[in-house]
Amino acid sequence: MKRKLILVILFAALFCGQASFGQAQSTNPTPQAEQSFIQQWSQEVIFPSAVRFTITLALPLEQVSTVSLIIKPASRPTVNVPLNLESTVVVGGEITGLAYIWQLPLENPPLLFKDIVFDWQVTSQTGDTAKIEDHFTFTDQRVNWLQDLPISSTVKLTLPNDMTSKKIPSTPYSHTGLDDLAANIKHVAALLSTNLGSTPNFNLLVYDTSKLPICTTNTKGESVATSSDGSIQIPCATTSADQIFAASGYNTVIVKSSSLTDVETAISDYMVTQSYTPRWSGKSVPQWFQTGLTDFYSPSLKVEMGPPVLSAARSNNLLPLDVMAQSPTTDANSELWRAQSYGLVVYIASQIGVDGLFNLANDAGTSASFDEAYQTALGKPISTLLDNFQRWLFTSSALDAFTFTPYQAATASPTPSRTLTLTNTPTTTPTATFTLTPTVTGVLSLTPLPSRTPTRTPTAAPPTNTPRAAGSLNTPLPPLEKIATNSNLNLGIVILLVGIIIVAAAAFILFRPRR
């Protein structure tokens, strides 16, 4: 009985060992007809600097005559590399292991998410030959990517979804989060198109440099790109990544957080900046207006910008307009400068309506100067802006303005008008407050919100960000399960179940009563 039990245990151990070996080898390339004494091969992209190719031969080094590597990137010239055996050997003895690091050409880099085909060709001292052909997708392999999510007719989005290395904790984005992101960016694109008539096509690639730095610094202070195990370091320059992105047709959006809120804000800012900058070329549009308008387009609320500017107004410490004309050179005033920039823009909207603000932004690109465009739009010189703004900050309208976005649901009105208009109501203060009526185009009134959390009220058009039942979403996205599925885990479970069945069958056969 004890011998039978030992046999069962040994059989189970043997099966598990074979299963584990098969699991480890499952990632090896498929055997090929001309493979001969080539045992295995692999490649790793050390982004953005190089690709490391390795090959293992079932021959000692002295029996190897020549080895060549032919690299064929999509839409790029073929690269033929005869290997120097003395400098590329990493393993010796009965087998020969070779490694070659291909430095990516800066003038003509491979294209992101396109295949690179490569051939290994080996000749032995006896004249025998071996050859394999394989391919891989050129990408930053440190992360799994969601590619070409369709946001609108002019916007596509590619972003990292999950780090491949478990050393860096990360969580794949949820369907709901991605749906909200897509809907909000679609609103920004639609509003830009409405206000400008046309906008550039955006093929956006998001890079989170907090988890996915383009280059890192080693102990010697050198800028390097490293292999997945950290054993290989290649000189690195961020300009190399920029050239790869540009050659591949991507607009790169750099973020410092993987939060979808931060990603959304960064994308919105990029789209607004790229849409207005060509129109303002050669014009002295003050930086505060450019930054404030960019924030105004962002779907997120700016409630946090109210307190700094109100505190500065109470102590008579608002930044002068000549200081506001340029971005701050130090961090000392950066928070106040950003808050005041947005405050000035939303104040202008309170005086001439949201459509009036967007018209001013357009006129800034055609008028002789921004001061002239401001005078025409508001009917008063820009020299009065700061004083009027400071008085306005202490009104209830100012508090409401910092909770406003141009994507809010319209308030019901018996006679909606085409353009936002203002009704000046006399008050006890020197500055008149404003009451806005809604438009039929989705440009909205400054309606106080119940909280700092933006609400999403369903409307007929445009679509809102309200979560809906599965299958009814307006923007279809690829299923994340297929991207985030751990195939090795599934295979391991199947192997374990098969193993249990086989062991149970063996035990039954060995221990069944004999007649």
86: domain CATH number? Answer: 2.60.40.10
Residues 6+ apart with CB under 8 A from 42: 29, 53, 54
Domain end (from 259, 278, 297): 278
Q: Judge whether 489 lies within some domain.
A: no
Q: What are phi and psi of 433, to 5 degrees?
A: -85, 170
Unique residue bearing structure tokens 């956006």: 204
Coil vs helix vs strand at 219: coil
For position 165, what pLDDT does the model report? 74
Residues 6+ apart with CB under 8 A from 460: none
Domain end (from 118, 139, 160): 139
Question: Three-class SS string for 189-217?
Answer: HHHHHHHHCCCCCEEEEEEECCCCCCCEE
> Phi-psi bin for 127: left (phi > 0), alpha (psi -120 to 50), beta?
left
Tokens of 216: 């890192």
Q: Judge whether 482 lies within some domain.
A: no
Q: Are residues 404 and 326 in the same domain?
A: yes
Q: Are residues 300 and 231 in the same domain?
A: no
Task: Give, as one character, the DSSP assignment of residue 221.
Answer: S
Amino acid 304 reads E
d(CA 347, CA 39): 71
Task: Give, as one character, the DSSP assignment of residue 165.
Answer: -
For the four alpha carbons of 404, 408, 413 and 418, in that order, the dihedral sign comes to: positive
d(CA 404, CA 420): 14
d(CA 467, CA 59): 61
d(CA 234, CA 211): 19
Q: Judge whether 44 lies within some domain.
A: yes
d(CA 156, CA 244): 18
Tokens of 125: 């001292």
d(CA 315, CA 225): 50
Using an 8 Å Cβ cutoff, are 419 and 355 in contact? Answer: yes
CB atoms within 10 A of CB 116: 21
Count, in order, helices (H) and strands (E) of the chain.
Answer: 14, 15
Identify whether 213 is preceded by a cis peptide bond (ω within 30 of 0): no
What pairing do the DSSP bridges indicate for beta strands 38-46 and 50-57? Answer: antiparallel
For the four alpha carbons of 30, 32, 36 and 37, in that order, the dihedral sign comes to: negative
Q: Are residues 110 and 159 in the same domain?
A: no
Using an 8 Å Cβ cutoff, are 425 and 433 in contact? Answer: yes
For position 337, what pLDDT does the model report? 96
d(CA 135, CA 299): 42
d(CA 337, CA 326): 10
Residues 6+ apart with CB under 8 A from 485: none
Q: Judge whether 224 lies within some domain.
A: yes
User: CA-CA distances (angstroms) from residue 402 to 6, 283, 349, 376, 406?
Assistant: 76, 28, 12, 25, 12
Q: Judge whether 172 lies within some domain.
A: yes
Domain extent, residue 161, equals 142-278
Q: Are residues 292 and 429 in the same domain?
A: yes
Q: Judge whether 480 lies within some domain.
A: no
For the four alpha carbons of 490, 24, 72 and 48, in that order, the dihedral sign comes to: positive
Q: Judge whether 201 lies within some domain.
A: yes
Q: Are residues 81 and 129 in the same domain?
A: yes
CA-based nearest residue to 264, from 241, 297, 238, 291: 297
d(CA 272, CA 188): 8
Q: Are residues 164 and 291 in the same domain?
A: no
Domain end (from 139, 174, 208): 139
d(CA 244, CA 254): 15
Q: Are residues 268 and 289 in the same domain?
A: no
User: CA-CA distances (angstroms) from residue 185 to 284, 404, 478?
Assistant: 28, 17, 17
Q: Are residues 319 and 188 in the same domain?
A: no
Identify whether 462 is preceded by a cis peptide bond (ω within 30 of 0): yes
Q: Are residues 162 and 204 in the same domain?
A: yes
Structural domain count, the chain = 3
Q: Judge whether 191 lies within some domain.
A: yes
Q: Are residues 207 and 123 in the same domain?
A: no
Q: Are residues 264 and 316 in the same domain?
A: no
For position 443, what pLDDT does the model report? 38
pTM exceeding the 0.75 threshold for the entire prediction: no
Digitized pLDDT (tens) for each residue of the chain, 515 residues in all: 444 443 344 334 333 333 333 333 334 568 899 999 999 999 999 999 999 999 999 999 999 999 999 999 999 999 999 999 988 888 888 999 999 999 999 899 999 999 999 999 999 999 999 999 999 999 999 999 999 999 999 999 999 988 887 666 677 889 999 999 999 999 999 999 999 999 999 999 999 988 889 999 999 999 999 999 899 999 999 999 999 999 999 999 999 888 999 999 999 999 999 999 999 999 999 999 999 999 999 999 899 999 999 999 999 999 999 999 999 887 768 999 999 999 999 999 999 999 999 999 999 999 999 999 999 999 999 999 999 999 999 998 898 889 888 997 644 333 333 344 444 444 444 444 444 433 433 333 443 333 344 444 444 444 444 444 443 334 343 433 333 334 444 555 656 676 677 767 666 666 666 55
Q: Are residues 103 and 178 in the same domain?
A: no
Residues 6+ apart with CB under 8 A from 163: 142, 143, 144, 169, 170, 211, 212
